Amino acid sequence: MFLAIASLYFVGLPLYEGTGVLCRTSGGAQSFGYQEVGGTNKYFYTVIEANKDPKNSPTFIVLPGGPGLSAMGLTLTGMEPCLLNENGTLQDSMYSWTKFANGIWVDAPGTTGFSQGKVENTMEEWVDNLFILVSGVLKKYPTINHKVYLVAISFDASTAGMLAAKISRSKAAIDLRGIFMMSGLTGPTDIYLGCLMKARKEGLVLYDVRVAPGAKNLEKMFKYKTGNPTVQKAMGVSKKWVGLDRQVLDSLTRFGAYNTTASITEALDAGLRILVVHGDADYITNAEGGLFWMSRLAGRFSYGKQLNAAPEQPLKVGDEMIGTARMAKFSNNAKFGYVKVKDSGHMLLRNRPRGMKVLANKFMSFAE
């Protein structure tokens, strides 16, 4: 429902010379593993350290949306060290986020990607399991438990908000600093019902209103023949991988109607930094709706009112103007920001890969 990019298939990665199982050009160490959660499940994760100075670099944790979308797809098609070409070859990515940060990619919930177990019944159970995973992975890799950010895409903006609130309440030994949301959904989908009906009636593409049906390029089938025994052994997996687990999607997509904005307020009250990014051509999680729910938030401070009062500034990457931004700051060190990216749809990492890399780097490095 929320990310049509989910038709990626990891079906056999070539093993290159060098230290990287997934990407030979990556300067950072690559690790893979399972974390037992909830008694019956094992979540699969990938850790790729920053190319340089991982101990002093920020760390991002990727929650890719869906629900049921495997984060593994984004290790080679999103903010990855390498890009997967249509012919199945890999090339170094100039847009890699691991050039400035450590990355953790998570397959969750349930049987998503390489993860194993049962599909959770509720969002709360899912978030509890994510909390166990994040705690366990950062305990196993303590040197990257530094300036940690949740990177949430589409549906998982709600998941990230709830997880951030839980981490803040628990006083866990996690150096969580904030959430970077792209095309996020955190409020009830009821407000979009009329928009969706109108868009379908007019034949618009919900993920990108600039193009006609059939002209979009959202479901590139990277049939990456996985199953390579050497690579599967190196990654510690033996399961057939699919990009989107339909059982997970069908079971949990109803929680898209959850209003999780209270968890964002709780995260801001705890002094976290929240940046919400939307494309101006996205319809299903549109920029106007994003600013609407943000403007209503209030907790220890009037977050929404102060955000609305903040001046809108042009956002440039080099000499290119890619959108507009506004940011509100608060005395508890919280920051609440909104970015509207021009000429972009739902898939911000594809539409503006350079812009998203630069924006994430500034946000995680505390640059203004």
Q: What pLDDT shows up at residue 218?
A: 36
Q: Say which residue the tokens 């749809």 belong to.
A: 345
Q: What pLDDT shows up at residue 201?
A: 60
Q: What pLDDT shows up at residue 290?
A: 87
Which stretches of the chain score pLDDT less than 70?
1-22, 24-25, 75-78, 84-90, 187-202, 204-231, 367-368
Q: Across the strands, what pairs with 37? A: 41
DSSP string covering 275-310: EEEEETT-STT-HHHHHHHHTT--SSS-HHHHHHHS
Output the CA–CA distances (angstroms, integers) from residue 281 to 54, 140, 216, in the order listed.
36, 41, 13
By the 8 A CB rule, do 158 and 341 touch?
no
Q: What pLDDT shows up at residue 202?
A: 61
Tell me the residue ranges of DSSP E strands in the chain.
Answer: 9-11, 30-37, 41-48, 59-63, 82-84, 90-92, 102-107, 148-153, 176-182, 223-225, 273-279, 313-317, 320-329, 335-341
Residue of 181, 211, 241, 253 whose CA lies nearest to 9: 241
Domains of the chain: 4-364 (3.40.50.1820)
Q: What pLDDT shows up at residue 25?
A: 67
Q: How far apart are CA 350 and CA 111, in angstroms?
A: 26
Cis check: omega of the bond before 14, within 30 degrees of 0: no
Q: Which two tokens stand for residue 344?
A: 């972009």
Q: What pLDDT shows up at residue 242?
A: 73
Output the CA–CA distances (angstroms, integers) from residue 206 to 29, 51, 198, 256, 287, in the order listed.
38, 37, 10, 16, 13
Q: How far apart are CA 195 and CA 316, in angstroms?
A: 30
Question: Chain-centre distance of CA 163, in angstroms?
Answer: 13
By the 8 A CB rule, do 127 and 159 touch?
yes
What is residue 116's DSSP assignment? B
Instruction: Render pLDDT for 11-34 as a digit per residue (tens, 0 to 9).
Output: 443 333 334 566 766 788 888 899
Q: What pLDDT shows up at residue 256?
A: 80
Q: What pLDDT shows up at residue 76?
A: 64
